[in-house]
Structure 1
Amino acid sequence: MKNKWKTGFFLLLGFIVIIVIILLSLIMIPADEKGKIQQTEPNNKNVTFEVKSNKADLNVLINQYIKKEAADSPIEYSIQLQDEVELYGTLQFFSQEVDLKLTFEPEALENGDLVLKQKSISVGSLPLPVSYVLKFIKENYKLPNGVDIQPNEKNVYVNMQQIKLKSDVRIKVNTFDLKNDDITFLILVPVE
């Protein structure tokens, strides 16, 4: 009986010693470069996240932002994202309020900004030149920071870097395809 217990004990002890030797040798052997976990420093001072959105959520966000930024504007307006960007508002014309609707074709630029190219305009039933209406909007509507109306080019330029967000977070437009509801942004969060 004693021999079976002795043999079992030494077999178990030998097995444990072999496992310890294997573990120690694995710990002591340097790993190749592929297997190493590398700490990388960001090549700039931001961490970037890609965010995907849709027209419905973005409509709520844009109009909430407009409401907050243009709270003291005498003229109310709103933006609706459909297959195009639609701006609705009212104009004072000889003490009458006239409904205004402008439609724009959005284009995401490589620098992360957004250009809205004027596509159509309706001001009540008045045939007004587009550049005149855009100039009137620029002079009379309080627009959020970063939104620049370019009447002569019939564009609205949205400088995403100038839009104020909390904690110095910045946004860049990556894709802005309204017809396919494919809207993605890059969110740049400062790390220092």
Structure 2
Amino acid sequence: MKKNNHVWKIAFFALSGLVVLVIIILFMLIQRYFPEVDENHFVQKQPTTEEAAFVIQTNKARLNTLIASRIEQTPSDISYMVELLEENVQFRSAFKILGQEVPVTINFNPVVVPNGDLLLEVETFSVGILSLPVDQVLQFISNWIEVADWIVTYPSERVVEVKVTDIKVDENESMRFRFLTFDLEQDNIELEMIID
């Protein structure tokens, strides 16, 4: 009987020793293969001062849809539309003279300037059958239709500037846009969204 007790004691201590040994080995493996996070773990290896930039690519059809929805959301007493055509940007509206609707059509040549804004240079215009100087027509239209503050008309230069770099998406975010490409013939329009 004493021999049986002695065997059980030896087996118990051997098993206990084996369990302790396995726990020590597991602890050492965890320490070796799963080290504690050091303070440099979340530090960027190659810090940069550049902003994050994302390229947005679209086409005339999608941009026309966006422009139409924005015009629709902006209340105005005057009906007008802006449309991207095969080679130019076209502004169409009408105004009443002696009870008759007179059509106004201006075709612009779009040019991306180095800072990413878009210049719309007047190519052709018509106000009914009248022949008016372009600067007077642009002045009349800028007084006649209320547009966003990032669209600026320069009548004497025969240009409308679309300052996409001034568009504020969110007051708390430092997000801005700039045009990279505005090629109507190739149906390729690219903007860059920059987050500082």
Q: 1:77 is matched with which residue?
A: 80
Q: 2:41 is matched with which residue?
A: none
**Is 2:174 the partner of 1:171?**
no
Give the Cα separation in 2 of the matches to 1:58 and 1:128: 30
Could you report, residue by residue, the CA deviation over 1:67-101 in whole angstroms, capped at 9, with x for unpaired residues? 22x31x21121111012000111123344321111
**Is 2:140 the partner of 1:136?**
yes
**Is 2:109 the partner of 1:112?**
no
Could you report, residue by residue, the CA deviation over 1:132-163 in whole angstroms, capped at 9, with x for unpaired residues? 11000111101112100111000001111222
Paired letter, 1:187: M
Specify the structure having the higher radius of gyration (Cα): 2
Work out the percentage of aligned pairs sharing the same amino acid. Answer: 32
Q: SS of the residue aligned with 1:152?
A: helix
In structure 1, runs of 5+ residues without a counterpart are 1-23, 25-37
In structure 2, runs of 5+ residues without a counterpart are 1-31, 33-43
Of the candidates 154, 179, 182, which is equivalent to residue 188 of structure 2?
182
Of the candidates 45, 50, 65, which is equivalent to residue 60 of structure 1?
65
Q: 2:53 is matched with which residue?
A: 48
Q: 1:127 is matched with which residue?
A: 131
- Closer/same/farther in 2, CA of residues 93 and 163 from structure 1, 3 Å limit: farther
**Is 2:159 the partner of 1:148?**
no
Q: CA deviation at 1:42?
A: 4.0
Paired letter, 1:173: F
Instruction: Give the structure-2-normalised TM-score.
Output: 0.71
- Closer/same/farther in 2, CA of residues 40 and 160 from structure 1, 3 Å limit: farther
Q: SS of the residue aligned with 1:92?
A: strand
RMSD between superposed Cα atoms in Å: 2.0
**Is 2:107 the partner of 1:93?**
no
Q: SS of the residue aligned with 2:49?
A: coil
Give the Cα separation in 1 of the matches to 2:107 and 2:189: 18
Equivalent pairs, count = 152
